[in-house]
Amino acid sequence: MSLRVLGVDPGLTRCGYGVLDAGRGRGASLVDVGVVRSAPEDTIDLRLLAISRGLEAKLEEHAPDVVAIERVFSQNNTSTVMGTAQVSGVAILLAAQRGIRIAMHTPSEVKAAVTGSGRADKKQIQTVLVKILGLSEAPRPADAADAIAIALTQLWRGPGPVRLDATGGARTSAQSRWAEAERAARRARESSTSRF
């Protein structure tokens, strides 16, 4: 059975989505790609509702095994970051409601996975996507292409479930197990010292 990934490039005006099925080796086939839009003149609740409904429809249509989301980073434009973070939360919640595991990837991880360079630009990423997926041109708008790149990153490098650490950063499952082992060791030390 092939692994299916829904990539999400979170955005409040345009939320990119891309669905890929894993192929042999590093192969992949494009299932669906596009954007879910919300109207900038609407209030935040209506905008998030529009994005939620659009993503929900894609989850129902494609039933992915994993939802891979671009991890939000702080930028100078606080309002943009807030909207992006809110859309990320919507995507995570929709996946959780369906029991679909999630993964999060930073922009540099996506660039490195797709092109081999963490400093690649969007044009380089789109060139690789066209070649790998056998497309006549890169998906448009750029948010859609970014979502495909996120899905491809998950297929090629995906660690699986992600938890947030105390600082709000994404952790791989291996990092989570390490952190749990550290906590267990600390509890054991505290327990042994409290006996004296």
Binding positions for Mg(2+) are 9, 70, 143
CB 22 within 8 A of CB 155: yes
Bridge partner list, 33:
18
Annotation marks residue 146 as catalytic: no
Catalytic residue among 9, 41, 65, 137: 9
Distance from the first to the final alpha carbon of the chain: 56
Q: Which is catalytic among the residues 65, 143, 180, 182?
A: 143
Residue ranges of the annotated binding site are 9, 70, 143
Annotated active-site residue 70? The verdict is yes
φ/ψ of residue 69, rounded to 5: -125, 140
Helix (H) or strand (E) segment spanning residue 144: helix 142-157
Task: Give the DSSP letter of residue 36.
Answer: E
Q: Are 144 and 184 in contact (CB under 8 A)?
A: no
Active site residue 9: yes
97/99 Cα distance (integer angstroms)? 6
d(C-alpha 190, C-alpha 15), whole Å? 47
Tell me how far apart the alpha carbons of residues 109 and 11 are, in angstroms, rounded to a whole number.
19
Instruction: Give me the catalytic one of 42, 70, 165, 182.
Output: 70
Distance between CA atoms of 134 and 8, rounded to whole angstroms?
21
Known catalytic residues are 9, 70, 143
